[in-house]
Structure 1
Amino acid sequence: MDFLKTAPMRFLLLVTGLWLTIFVLTRAVLLLTHLDEAGSGVVSVFGLGLLYDLGFLAYAALPLGLYLLLCPPALWRRRGHRWFLQGLLSVSLFAMLFTAVAEWLFWDEFGVRFNFIAVDYLVYSDEVLNNLLESYPIGTLLGVLALLAVIFSVASHKALTAALDAPLPTARGRLASVFALLVATGLSHQVLNQGSPRAQGGNAYQNELASNGPYQFFAAFRNNDLDYQQFYSTLPPAEVANQVRAELSEPNAHFIGQDPQDIRRMIDNPGITRHPNIVLVTIESLSAKYMGSNGDERNLTPNLDALRKQSLYFNNFYATGTRTDRGLEAITLAIPPTPGRSIVKRIGRESGFASLGQQLSAVGYDSVFVYGGRGYFDNMNAFFSGNGYRVVDQSSVPEDEIHFKNAWGMADEDLYKQTLKLADADYAKQQPFLLQLMTTSNHRPYTYPDGRIDIPSGNGRDGAVKYTDYAIGQFLAQARVKPWFDNTIFVFVADHTAGSAGKEDLPISNYQIPLFIYAPKLIEPRETAQLASQIDLAPTLLGLLNLDYQSTFFGRNLLQPNDLPPRVVVGNYQHLGLFDGQNLAILSPRQGLRRHDQALTESIESPATTSDPLIARAITYYQTASYGFKQQLLGWKAPKEGTTQVSER
C-alpha cells in the first residue's frame, strides 16, 4: 500500500476525501429535514449511502487519477503545475458545493435525490434557468459558494502542501495505482446500478437519502425512469382494472389476461382476412397547421392538400408526445407516453413487445423499419430490431445512391427511392410488406437538394415543409406505376408537431397532427372528425386487414363502431394528460392533479381530485401502462401453431 503515500495518490485522496465530506454533510442535512418520515434507519441510511458515495467517487476519480499518475515528473515539479493543482482543488470544491445546494433545492421540491426530472431539466434549460433567476438570488448564491470554496481550499493548504511534496511513484507504483483505480471503477459498476441495492422496497425516504445525488444524476441518463407509483396519483387496482376494461371493451374484443390489470385481449375482426401491403410514413415535425387545407396561405403543402381529398383523412388527430421517439413508440406499440424516457430509449428493456411489426411478421409480412438517418440515434435500431422488424437506415445504403444528406440523414427523396426498391424486392418474392418509414428533411438545418422547390435550401422550416410535401408527391407518382400499388395502403402521419410549447404544460392544440390513409383501390376517401391519436393507428391498420390477433394495444380500431368515450393521451415526460375533446386532465409529479376546462380555447385551469371522472380516466391509462411495462404484461406472444401464414397476394 506504499503507492498510497505518493504525491499523486495523496492529492487524489485529498480531493475525493473533501468530496466525501460534502456528500455526508448533504445527506445529514436532508435527513434532519425528514427525520419523522425516515424513521429509525439512520445507520442503514449512512451505511448504504457511503457505498453509493464511494461508488460515485470511483467513477469521478478515474480520469483525474489517470492524469495525476501519467503526469511527467518534470511537469509535476514545476511551480505553475502546483498552482494548477491548487486551482483544481478549489474548482472541484466549488462544483461539489454547488451540487449540494442544487440537491437541497431539488429535494425541497420533489422529496428525492436527482433523477430523470433533473436530467430533463437539461432539455428545458431555458425554462429552468429563467425559473432559477426569478426564484433565487443566483448571483449572491454563486458568490457565497465561491467564497466557501476558497475558504475550504485555504483551510486544506497544509494537507495540500504535504501531498504535493510527497515523493513521486516509481514506474511499478504508477502501474499499481492505475490498476487499483481500474479495479475500484469495475467493482462500482458491478455492485451499483439505478435499481440495486437502494431500491428494494421499504421506506422510500430512507432509500432516497441513501442515494448519492451526482451518481443518481448520471445513472438517470442510462435508466431514465420516473416511477409512476412513486410520483403520481394512483387509484386502487380493482378500480383501475374495471375502468381500463370499460375504456378498451370494443365489441370484437374479449380479455384473456389472468391479472385484472392485464389488458391482453383477443381481437376478432369481422370479415375475410386480406393481405395488402402497408407503407407507413412517419414525417418529421409535420404540424397540421402547415397544411393549406387547414388555412395556411403559404402554399407549402399542395400535394398533401390534394391527397387529403383522396384519402381517409382524420382532422382531429393528435400526437402523444413532443419527440420522435415518443411518436414511434405510440405508433409501433400503441401505448400511452409513460413518464420519463420513452420505451424506445430504455436501453436493455426496449424489446420483446407485441408491436405492429411483430403482429404482421407473425403472419408472413416483411416488416422493415426504414430510416433516413443512422438508426443508433435515439436507440432506434435496437428498438425496432428487438420488436419484429428488420432495419434499413442510412448506413445500409450505398453512398452512390444518396444524392443529398445533412447531419440528420439522407434527403426524403432518397429515402423514398430506397422504399421503392424494398417494395419491388418483396413483390418479386410474392411477400407482403410493412415498410415503416421515418423521414428527416423537415428538421433543422432545413436543408435539401437544390432546384426542387421555390424556397432556397437552409432558409427555415417553411422550405423544409414544402420540400417534404414535394418529396411525398414524387414518391406517390412513382409508386402509382408499380404493380404492387393497387394492393398497398399508404399512411402518412407526423411523429410530433413542429412546436409544442405554450402557456400550459400540455397545450393540447399544439399536439394536433394530420393522418392520411390512402389506398384508392381499397379504401373509400372521406374525412372524419373522430377524436383519435397515434396509439389508435396500429389497431386501425390491423382492422383494415380484418386480422384476428392477440392485442396489448391501448389504442382502438377507429373504423369499428363503438360507444366508448373519446380520449387522447398526451405527455411531455413529466406531465401526463388525457383530453376528451373538450376538457383536459393533467397528472404531474408529486401527485399533482388538475384539469383544464375548454382546453382548446379558454383553457380554464383548476385543481382536481381522483374523484373527478376525467382525472380517474387519465390515471387509469397511465397507471395501467406503467404497471403493464413493469410487470412485463405487454410482451409479444407468438400465435399458436396453425395460424395462417401469408404467402401470396
Structure 2
Amino acid sequence: MESINNISKRYSLLLGFSAWFILFSFLLRIVFLFWQLDEIEITVFNLLKILSLGLLFDVGVLSFLFVISTFYILLIPKRFIGSKVDKIFIYLGFLLTLLIFVFTFFAEITFWEEFKCRFNFVAVDYLIYTFEVVQNIHESYPLYILIPSMLIITGVIYFYFAKNDFFNDTFTNKISFKSRILPFVISLTVMLIYVFFVSNSNAEWSKNRYNNEISKTGIYSFFAELRNNKLDFKTFYNSISDEEAFQLIRNNLKDDNVKFLSNDYSIKRKITDSLEVNTKPNVVFILIESMSASFMAEFGNEKKITPFLDSIANKSLFFKNLQATGNRTVRGMEAVTLSIPPTPGQSIVKRPNNSNLYTISNVFKSKNYQCNFFYGGDGYFDNMNAFYGGNGFDIYDRGRGSVLSDKIKTTRHNIDDSEVTFENAWGICDEDIYNKMIKVADEYHQKKKPFLNFVMTTSNHRPYTYPDNKIDIPSGKSRSGAVKYSDYALQQMFKKAKNKPWFKNTIFVFVADHCASSAGKDEIDVANYHIPAIIYGENLIQPQKVTKLCSQIDIFPTLFGQLHWSYTSNFFGTDVLSKKYQERALMGTYLKLALQKDKIITILSNKKTNTHYNWNETSNKLKVIPVNKFELNETISWYQTADYLYLNNKLN
C-alpha cells in the first residue's frame, strides 16, 4: 500500500501551482478592492462574501486544470514517470500554463482600468478581432515594461518551484495506476459540478456592482461568457403574456398620425404627416465614438474640449436629456439603425440572421436615397460590414483583405493609402474618414441623388492617438485630448462641407454611440448613459433645446418628423416632439435591462429578479423603492417584444 505522502508528492507541482494561483488571485482581489475603495460597500460580511465567493471561483478554474493534469498523470505508464518524455511534458506544460496565468493577471488589470469589471463578453469579442486588439495594446501600454515584467515573474516563480524540489518530487515518485484513479475521479467530479451547477451569475449577490465583480475570477468569467453570448429573454427574465406585452407597447407607440398595419404581435405601422412635402435633404449622420455628454460645456464641463459641438448646439435641435441604450458601439449602432431596445446578450449587429431587417435605410430608400456606411477601420470588426452591407448600405472602410459574404449584395469600397494621413490600431483618423465622406457626397450630388452618409468615428478611443499639431493636447496622452481632437475634426469637416454646393440642402446629425465609461457601483449607472445628440440643418431644422427624457432609438423618428415624412415604421422609437410622446429611456448592459421614467428606474435581471429604484440625479445614486406592478410590466414589455420580433423574424 502506497503512502499518502508518496502519492501527494507526484502531485506536488500541481498542488503548489494551485496554491500560487489562489494567492495571486487573492492579491488581485485586494488590489481591486483598494482601487474602488470609494465605491464598494465594505463591511465584515461583504468582505467575507467577496473573498469566499472569489475562492469558490478560483477553485472552479483549478478544477479544469486538475482534470487535464490528473488525466495526464493517470495515463502515463509507471516506467515512464521521471523519463525525458515525462519531464518535457511537465516542464513545458508548467511553464506555458504559468505564463498564461501571469499574462491573465496583467490583462485583468488593464481590462479593469478600461471597463471596471472582470472579463466579460467584450473580452470574448476581442479574442476574435486579434489585429485591432493587439495593435491597441501595443499603442496603449508600455509593452517594453509589461512583457519583461511577465517573463521575470514567470522566471521567479519557476525558480522557486525548482529550488524547493517540486519538480524533483513529481519526477521521483512512481505511484501505481490504482493510486492515480481517485485523484482523477475527484477532479472530474468537481469540474462537472462547476460546469452544471456553478454559474458566473452566482457572483451577482450585491446591489453594488463592484462587490459582484471583485467576487469573480477573470478566467472563469471569460469562459462563462464564451459559453453564453446570447440569452433567451423568457428563459432568463421575468415575462408576461405576449398579448399583454404587445398591447402595452402599442399603447406607448400610439399617436394621432399612427395606424397599425395588423392586429397580431407586431408594431409595424403607417405614420402619416399631414404637412408632408417632397423634401429630400441629404443627411450626414455622425456616430461619435465615446462622446459623453459630460465632456460638453453645455453640460457643465469647464475644460473647453468640445468648442465646436458647444457652438453648434445653440443653432440646432439639441437633445439635453437623451440616454444611450448601451455601453458598446454595436449597441449604439443597433439603437439608431434599427430603433430597437437593447436585447439581452449580444447586440443584433453581431447576431446571425441580421440582414434584410427593417432599418432606417428602408425609409430612406423608399424616398430614393443612396445609403452609405463609412468606417475608418476594417468593417469586419464587430460585424459592421455584414450588418450594414446586409441592410441596404454601400460600405466604405479600411479593409485589410477581409471580404464580404457572397450572401451580402452590396458594394464595398476600400479606402486607399493615398487617402490616409494618420492611422492607429482602430483605423484612420476622423479627419481622413470625413474627407472620404465629403468626396462621396460630391459624387452623389453630381448624380443628383440624395444621400444618407452614415459615419462611425474611431479617434476618441484608446490609445487616444491622432495627428500631431492639430490641438493643444499632445497625441496619445489622455481621453481629453482624444475628445478635443474628435471635436476639432468635426469642425474641419463642417468648414469643408460649408463650401460645397450640397451643404444648404443637408442635415447634419451628431450623436454619441455610448459614453466614455458606463461603469459604476450600481447595476445601471444612469449618469454614464447620458450622451449628446444634435440635429443641425441651416434653414431646414428649427433650433430648439429638447429637455424631454428620450433615447437613442428616437433620433431618426424625430428627424423624420422634422422632415414631415410619411413612412412605414417598424421602430420602437418615436418622434420626441410629438404632443403624444411619452418620456422614457431604455438602457442595458449585457445582462441588466432598464427602463427610466423621470427619476424612476426599473431594472430586470437575468436571474428573474427585478428592482425598482429612485434615482438621485445630484448624487447619481439609486435608492431601492417598492416595485410598481404597472411599471414593471411596462419595462418587461419593451424588452420582451423586441426579443420576440427578432426571434420570430418579424423585424423585417
Same fold (TM over 0.5): yes
Compared CA separation, residues 289 and 118, structure 1 to 2 (3 A): closer
Residue number in structure 2 paired with 1:176: none
Q: Quick one: which of 280, 286, 292 aligns to 2:285?
A: 280
Residue number in structure 1 paired with 2:423: 405
SS of 1:306's equivalent in the other structure is helix
Matched, 1:373 2:377: yes
Matched, 1:526 2:544: yes
SS of 2:342's equivalent in the other structure is coil
Matched, 1:457 2:475: yes
Residue number in structure 2 paired with 1:81: 85
Compared CA separation, residues 537 and 93, structure 1 to 2 (3 A): closer
User: What is the CA deviation profile of residues 207-258 of structure 1, one whole-angstrom value per residue up to 9, with x for unaligned ones?
Assistant: 978x9xx999879648721111011111122321221111111221111234
Alignment of 1:391-470 (within 5 A): 391-395=395-399, 396-470=414-488
SS of 1:310's equivalent in the other structure is coil
Q: 1:402 and 1:542 mapped to 2: Cα distance?
A: 34
Q: 2:441 and 2:236 mapped to 1: Cα distance?
A: 46
Residue number in structure 2 paired with 1:551: 569
Matched, 1:591 2:608: yes
User: What is the CA deviation profile of residues 370-413 of structure 1, one whole-angstrom value per residue up to 9, with x for unaligned ones?
Assistant: 11111011110001001111110123111011000100111110
Residue number in structure 2 paired with 1:356: 360
User: What is the CA deviation profile of residues 445-472 of structure 1, one whole-angstrom value per residue up to 9, with x for unaligned ones?
Assistant: 1111111111111111111111111111
User: What is the CA deviation profile of residues 284-312 of structure 1, one whole-angstrom value per residue up to 9, with x for unaligned ones?
Assistant: 00011111232211111111111011111
Q: 2:178 and 2:366 mapped to 1: Cα distance?
A: 68
Residue number in structure 2 paired with 1:474: 492
Q: 2:535 and 2:443 mapped to 1: Cα distance?
A: 23
User: What is the CA deviation profile of residues 471-523 of structure 1, one whole-angstrom value per residue up to 9, with x for unaligned ones?
Assistant: 11111111011111111110000000111111211111111111110001211
Q: 1:90 and 1:444 mapped to 2: Cα distance?
A: 34
SS of 2:314's equivalent in the other structure is helix
Q: Quick one: which of 589, 598, 605 aligns to 1:572?
A: 589
Q: 1:399 and 1:405 mapped to 2: Cα distance?
A: 10
User: What is the CA deviation profile of residues 112-145 of structure 1, one whole-angstrom value per residue up to 9, with x for unaligned ones?
Assistant: xxxxx995495799xxxxxxxxxxxxxxxxxxxx
Q: Quick one: which of 281, 299, 304 aligns to 1:299?
A: 304
Matched, 1:236 2:254: no
The structure 1 segments of at least 4 consecutive aligned residues displaced by more than 4 Å after TM superposition are 86-94, 121-125, 153-157, 214-223
- Residue 508 of structure 1 contacts residue 599 of structure 1 at CA under 8 Å; is this kept in 2? no
Residue number in structure 2 paired with 1:327: 332
Q: Quick one: which of 554, 577, 581 aligns to 2:598?
A: 581
Q: 1:500 and 1:547 mapped to 2: Cα distance?
A: 35
Compared CA separation, residues 576 and 158, structure 1 to 2 (3 A): same
Q: 1:525 and 1:471 mapped to 2: Cα distance?
A: 23
- Residue 584 of structure 1 contacts residue 599 of structure 1 at CA under 8 Å; is this kept in 2? no
**TM superposition shift of 1:156:** 8.1
- Residue 346 of structure 2 contacts residue 590 of structure 2 at CA under 8 Å; is this kept in 1? yes
- Residue 344 of structure 1 contacts residue 350 of structure 1 at CA under 8 Å; is this kept in 2? yes
Residue number in structure 1 paired with 2:645: 628
Compared CA separation, residues 379 and 223, structure 1 to 2 (3 A): farther
Q: 2:330 and 2:321 mapped to 1: Cα distance?
A: 22
- Residue 358 of structure 1 contacts residue 389 of structure 1 at CA under 8 Å; is this kept in 2? no
TM-score by length of 2: 0.66
Q: 2:377 and 2:532 mapped to 1: Cα distance?
A: 23
- Residue 388 of structure 2 contacts residue 395 of structure 2 at CA under 8 Å; is this kept in 1? yes
Letter in 1 for 2:322: F
Q: 2:513 and 2:648 mapped to 1: Cα distance?
A: 28
Compared CA separation, residues 267 and 123, structure 1 to 2 (3 A): same
Residue number in structure 1 paired with 2:130: none
- Residue 264 of structure 1 contacts residue 552 of structure 1 at CA under 8 Å; is this kept in 2? yes
Compared CA separation, residues 360 and 156, structure 1 to 2 (3 A): farther
Residue number in structure 2 paired with 1:618: 635
Q: Quick one: which of 495, 499, 516 aligns to 1:498?
A: 516
Q: 1:157 and 1:90 mapped to 2: Cα distance?
A: 23
- Residue 124 of structure 2 contacts residue 225 of structure 2 at CA under 8 Å; is this kept in 1? no
User: What is the CA deviation profile of residues 74-122 of structure 1, one whole-angstrom value per residue up to 9, with x for unaligned ones?
Assistant: xx9994333233567899999xxxxxxxxxxxxxxxxxxxxxx995495
User: What is the CA deviation profile of residues 130-169 of structure 1, one whole-angstrom value per residue up to 9, with x for unaligned ones?
Assistant: xxxxxxxxxxxxxxxxx9xx99x989864999xxxxxxxx
Q: 1:517 and 1:362 mapped to 2: Cα distance?
A: 22
Which consecutive residues of structure 1, in runs of 5 or more, have no partner in the other structure?
A: 1-56, 66-75, 95-116, 126-146, 162-206, 636-649
Compared CA separation, residues 623 and 561, structure 1 to 2 (3 A): same
Letter in 1 for 2:395: V
**TM superposition shift of 1:613:** 2.2
SS of 2:308's equivalent in the other structure is helix
State which drifts further: 541-550 or 286-295: 541-550
Compared CA separation, residues 608 and 353, structure 1 to 2 (3 A): farther
Task: Say how many residue pairs are matched.
Answer: 472
Residue number in structure 2 paired with 1:181: none
- Residue 558 of structure 2 contacts residue 574 of structure 2 at CA under 8 Å; is this kept in 1? yes
**TM superposition shift of 1:264:** 1.2
Q: 2:420 and 2:495 mapped to 1: Cα distance?
A: 20
State which drifts further: 460-469 or 352-361: 352-361
Q: Quick one: which of 540, 545, 549 aligns to 2:558?
A: 540
**TM superposition shift of 1:431:** 0.5
Compared CA separation, residues 534 and 90, structure 1 to 2 (3 A): same
**TM superposition shift of 1:543:** 2.3
Letter in 1 for 2:436: Q
SS of 2:326's equivalent in the other structure is coil
Compute the RMSD of aligned alpha carbons: 3.7
